[in-house]
Amino acid sequence: MKNSFTFAIVALAMVYACPSFADFSKYVQISASGYAGEAVNDFPVLVKISNAKLPGVYSAVKNAGADLKFTDELGVTEYPYEVDVWDPSGTSLVWVKVPVLKSNTSLRMYYGDMTKTTNPGATQVWGGYAGVWHLSTGLGDSVANGAPAVAVSPTVSLASGAVGAGYRISSAGVTSGSKTGAIYCPSTASVDYSQGFTVSAWVNNISYSSTWDDQMILATCSGVWENKGGFCIRANTWPNSGKELMFSNSNCNQKFQNADNSVPPLWDNNVWHSLSLVWDGSTMTVYIDGIAGDSWSGAITNSGEPLTFGNCSNLEASNIGTAESSAFSWKGGVDECRLTTAVKSADWLRAEYLVVSQDVTTFGEPHDLSGCTVDFSAVGERSGSAPLVVEFQASSEGFSGTVTYKWDFDNDGSVDSTDEEPEWTYEAVGSYSVKLVATTPQGAKTSLYENCVTVEEAIENILNANAFRVDETAGIDCTAL
């Protein structure tokens, strides 16, 4: 006779409270009502923060802006942000990537979380870019794993640029033949420009000769003239033809005009302008202050040189100050430089100009979240064999108005219930994290506990699959078991 045996497990009933996330003490609604451009998607909008716009903000925000959180207008979906400049005595500059920017875009800023010390999502603002150099607090690249730019003397930092601080390539009064200056970006030497790109910068001119001058604004070419490879754009003044904006590459010298055939206003004395070049694989278009000017059709070849602002790209020590590099230095300021292999639209470039040249955001009244909490409990068994039925209870305190709930019982991103006291059956073996999002008139708060529900396979199923049987002919009597 052959016998088998099984074990039974009895789970103890218990109440387990899942902890709430760290609370922010305040929040404020932000409107992009000052934006007058067309709608653009996945756009980094510049939010300017000051005590004048939001009284008392600097006394409530800690850690140089790291304890901020930007969301949609209901406080549910979080948006990545990057602090460009944090200035408690003046205006702070924060780039926030919103799903869509238009005149009725509304978002929410939470602040005053004493436990939040870092902003892990800063580089997510600039996804798809090969480089973003704000130049406000140095030469760092805001792109993930990006390398800083290099400033070649006599380039110096500026206290006031187009966005925060900037850099000046050469001093006022510098003329052709003086020592060169430049900002070059070593990490861009391997970028493939041939299929399409958008490169942009804010520039201002502080000195030029009315009789003859040729100033390099940006380049990937290793020299000035058109047989050097790569490309460049230059601001010229000639005795016979006056002011010209020239695009040069291995095939041509192309003069660019504004859409109305006027000369681009880059020679304004110490006035900042946005300059963008867009190459779609066959046509190059120049944009000044977000408005399209002339176009050129042809081909772009890679030079293997780094993108350089304020001069050509052959800036090794042996070439600095040579006739070719020094005679063509940009005599003015450079700020907010960007490069992407994406072909940006006219609406996008106009939006980039508008969010810098104007303050497009306004702030509402701040709301106090002190004392507001969201929690939930698992009542009864939260571990045992499948199928395991678990009862949950939601609770909230300190909120005004109706509270609605969204439960995700396995943290897979799907809403499983909107009840206040739901019941959920776990059919499969495993450990489960549970998340609750409570939405109130003040916004949304989340409670999440990882691996708080454990579902095990029934012992009888294990034993049936791997039956423990002993043959009585071996001399062991198992009948008593």
Q: Which residues contact 416 (CB under 8 A, 6 or more apart)?
A: 407, 408, 409, 410, 422, 424
- Per-residue confidence (pLDDT) for residue 459, from 0 to 100: 62
Q: Measure the CA–CA gap between 303 and 335, rounded to whole angstroms.
A: 24
Let me know the angle formed at the C-alpha of 156 by 153 and 161, rounded to the nearest 5 degrees. 145
Residues 26 and 369 sit within 8 Å (Cβ to Cβ):
yes
State residue 464's pLDDT score.
53
Which pLDDT score, from 0 to 100, does residue 208 have?
A: 79
Instruction: Give the three-state DSSP class for 438.
Output: strand
Per-residue model confidence (pLDDT) at position 326: 52
242/210 Cα distance (integer angstroms): 8
CA pseudo-torsion sign 300, 306, 310, 315 = negative
Strand residues in 257-411 grouped as ranges (E): 273-279, 283-288, 291-297, 307-309, 332-340, 362-363, 367-368, 373-380, 383-385, 388-397, 404-408
Do the Cβ atoms of 155 and 168 come closer than 8 Å? yes
Q: How many CB atoms lie within 10 A of CB 179?
A: 15
Using DSSP's 3-state secondary structure scheme, residue 416 falls into: coil
Q: Which residue ranges in the chain fall short of pLDDT 50?
A: 1-22, 172-179, 226, 316-325, 462-463, 465-481
pTM recorded for the entire structure:
0.77
